[in-house]
Structure 1
C-alpha cells in the first residue's frame, strides 16, 4: 500500500475545519484545475481527472472532529482511500492532514505516486487559503 500524506496548520478551531471537510460539496474548492465535471452532495462526489480517470467517491466513515474517510463507489483503476484527520495543535488551532492510501503495483506507483502527492499537497494548501 502506498501512503501519501500532506498536512497544514490552521489558526482555526477543530470544529470549524472538520465542519468544512465533512461536507464533500466544499471539496471542489480544494481541487486543482485538472479536475473537472465536479458533481457532489454532502456525502458523495464524482469528478474527472484530466488524462486519467473518472472517479466517484462517498464518505464511508465520519468521526466528528477527528476524521473523515472517503472511498470509491465505482471500481477505480486501483484501490484508494482518501482520509482527512484533524487534531488540536495545542494553541487553539488545528493540524489538518490529508492521507491518500492507494494499492499501486510498481508500474502504477511510478506513474501515479507523484500526481497523487501533488494532489494531496494542493488540497492542503487550498484548505489553508479557503479557511483563512
Structure 2
C-alpha cells in the first residue's frame, strides 16, 4: 500500500470542519478543474477525472469530529481509501490530515504518486480556503 498524506491547520472549530467533510456534496468544492460530471448525495459522489477515470466513492465510516473514511462504491482503477483525520488544536483551530492509501504496483506508483500527492495538497488547501472565507 502506498500512503500519500497532506496536512493543514484550519482556523475553524473541529465541529465545523467535520460537518463540511462528512457531507459528500461539499467535496465538489475541493476538486481540481480536471474533475467534471460531478453528482453527489450526502453519502456518495460520482465524477470523472479528465483523461483518467470515472470514480464512484462512498462514505464507509464517520467518527464524529474525528474522521471520515471514503472508499470506492464501484470498481476503481486500483484499490484505494481516502481518510480525513481531524484533531483539535484548540477550541477554534483544527488540524486536518488527508490520507490516500492506494494499492499501486511499481509501474502505477511511478505514474500515479505525483498526481495523487498534488491532489491531496490541493484538497487540503481548498478546504482551508473554503472554511476560512
Common fold by TM > 0.5: yes
Q: Does 1:52 align with 2:52?
A: yes
- TM-score, normalising length: structure 1: 0.98
Task: Return the offset for 1:91.
Answer: 5.8
Gaps of 5+ in 1: none
C-alpha separation in 2, matches of 1:23 and 1:64: 12
Report the more deviating stretch, 20-29 or 83-92. 83-92
Separation in structure 2 between the aligned mates of residue 126 and residue 78 of structure 1, nearest angstrom: 25
Distance apart, 1:11 and its partner CA:
1.2
**Matched residue SS, 2:90:** coil
Partner Cα separation in structure 1 for residue 6 and residue 70 of structure 2? 16
Distance 2:107 2:87 in 1: 34
Aligned to 1:110: 110
Is 1:61 matched up with 2:53?
no
Secondary structure (helix, strand or coil) at the match of 1:104 reads: coil
Match of 1:31 in 2: 31
Which ranges in structure 2 are unaligned for 5 or more consecutive residues? none
- The 5-angstrom pairing of residues 1-132 of structure 1 reads 1-90=1-90, 92-132=92-132
Q: Number of paired residues?
A: 132
Question: Equivalent residue of 1:128, what SS?
Answer: helix
1:19-76 Cα offsets, whole Å, 9 max, x none, are: 0000000000000000111000000000001111000000000000000001001111
Q: Which moved more, 1:84-93 or 1:15-24?
A: 84-93
Corresponding residue SS for 1:89: strand
Stretches (4+) displaced over 2 A? none
TM-score, reference length from structure 2: 0.97
C-alpha distance in structure 2 between counterparts of 1:56 and 1:77, whole Å = 11
